Amino acid sequence: MIVIMRQHASEDEIQGVVRLVENAGLKLHISRGEERTIVGLIGDVRRLDPDTIAFLPGVERVVRILQPFKLASREFMPSHRPIPVGDVLFGSEEVPVIAGPCAVESEESMLRIASFVAHAGAAVLRGGAFKPRTSPYSFQGLGEPGLHILAKARELTGLPVITEVVSPQDVELVAAYADVLQIGSRNMLNYALLHEVGRQPKPVILKRGMMSSVEEWLMAAEYILSAGNQEVILCERGIRTFETSTRNTLDLSAVAVAKKLSHLPVIVDPSHATGRSDMVIPMTLAAVACGADGLMVEVHDDPASALSDGPQSLKPEAFADMMSRLEPVARAVSRSIAAPRARKTTASRDRMAEHADKLGDAGTLWKASGEGE
């Protein structure tokens, strides 16, 4: 149930509703818009008579939310609310691109790749310090040293960084380094982890479980929202079907469904969805065309030697090609690709040029763009 206050309702009138709700033993969430304030009721709303609330001063109307996910629903917040990540907005007319290696492998490798993707147009830098893997014998990430490397990459490029957190016990540690916390598909139903990231203020990217419905995905988001964190971004990364020609089946219809049901931004990860680098660019174009609020792709300068997910990683030159092809598609649907926010200080440019020199053909491509001058 939500209580929609009248336009310019006073704070005393809002607190009158709050007192009634709290006295009934219910939890609440207050959303303050430019014109109206909405009070969301969480719990067994049968304890309160809607007519009793409707006659309180300042109340415009009371609406029952039919969806099982309350705070994530369109009834609770009819319009999209963009979520800031550094200077980037997810859910605005601009479409940000998140890029970087699947895993942080070494400082030299991470800084080298970060320098390229930043000046090729990425708005956010990705890299896994902790890696949940199907096999216990696969590379599991560098852990905390990987977080230190990500911090150096942010210092080098000026881009906010996103990395995955896999355990409730690591949330505080990861949040101390990352600008965005990622919940991977394997952890979408890890309710202890969802609750813990909901208790900290950093934005959270929640990936859809590989065998989860859209409703289950939104219910997982509800765990984070109900714990107090309203900065949740949904990520479609493919679901497991009978099809074997790709790693997963990228469900682009889920983007439209989730955006119809929820006010949360929805981004797409075609790297994990397809598992094939040759399929990534076509799927990024399709994702922007269908209304995705952002993209997340994996980039590696030597995919054959990558410690994690090399076959789905774009080479730097392919990433640059992808960025050049995205803008016309974005314009066709009245949007644009978010401009990079990389710092252009002399020291930063010199350091990035140093790393670009080690990128071979990709570094030459970066310099030819004029960014290396």
pLDDT value at residue 308: 78
In this structure, of 122-126, 303-307, 361-365, the range with the lowest mean pLDDT score is 361-365
pLDDT > 90? residue 365? no
Mean pLDDT calculated for residue range 338-344: 63
Question: Cβ–Cβ contacts within 10 Å for residue 177, how many?
Answer: 17
Mean pLDDT calculated for residue range 155-182: 95
- The rounded distance, in Å, linking the Cα atoms of 249 and 243 is 7
Question: Cβ–Cβ contacts within 10 Å for residue 364, how many?
Answer: 14
Percent of the chain with pLDDT strictly greater than 70: 88
pLDDT value at residue 351: 58
pLDDT value at residue 29: 83
In sign, the C-alpha dihedral spanning 255, 231, 35, 261 is positive
Amino acid type, 272: H
Confidence of residue 139 (pLDDT cuts 50, 70, 90): low
Confidence of residue 138 (pLDDT cuts 50, 70, 90): low
Buried b (16+ CB within 10 A) or exposed e, 23-37: ebebebbebeeeeeb
In sign, the C-alpha dihedral spanning 125, 327, 325, 95 is positive
- The rounded distance, in Å, linking the Cα atoms of 307 and 134 is 14
pLDDT value at residue 140: 59
pLDDT value at residue 364: 52
pLDDT > 60? residue 341? no
Confidence of residue 345 (pLDDT cuts 50, 70, 90): very low
Residues 6+ apart with CB under 8 A from 330: 95, 288, 336, 337
Domains of the chain by start residue, with CATH:
2-63 (3.30.70.1140), 83-347 (3.20.20.70)
Residue 165 and residue 182 in contact, taking contact as beta carbons nearer than 8 Å: yes
pLDDT value at residue 102: 92
- The rounded distance, in Å, linking the Cα atoms of 26 and 17 is 12
> What is the tens place of the pLDDT at every residue in 1-42?
889 999 889 999 999 999 999 998 888 888 887 778 889 888
In this structure, of 53-62, 100-109, 229-238, 346-355, the range with the lowest mean pLDDT score is 346-355
SS3 217: helix
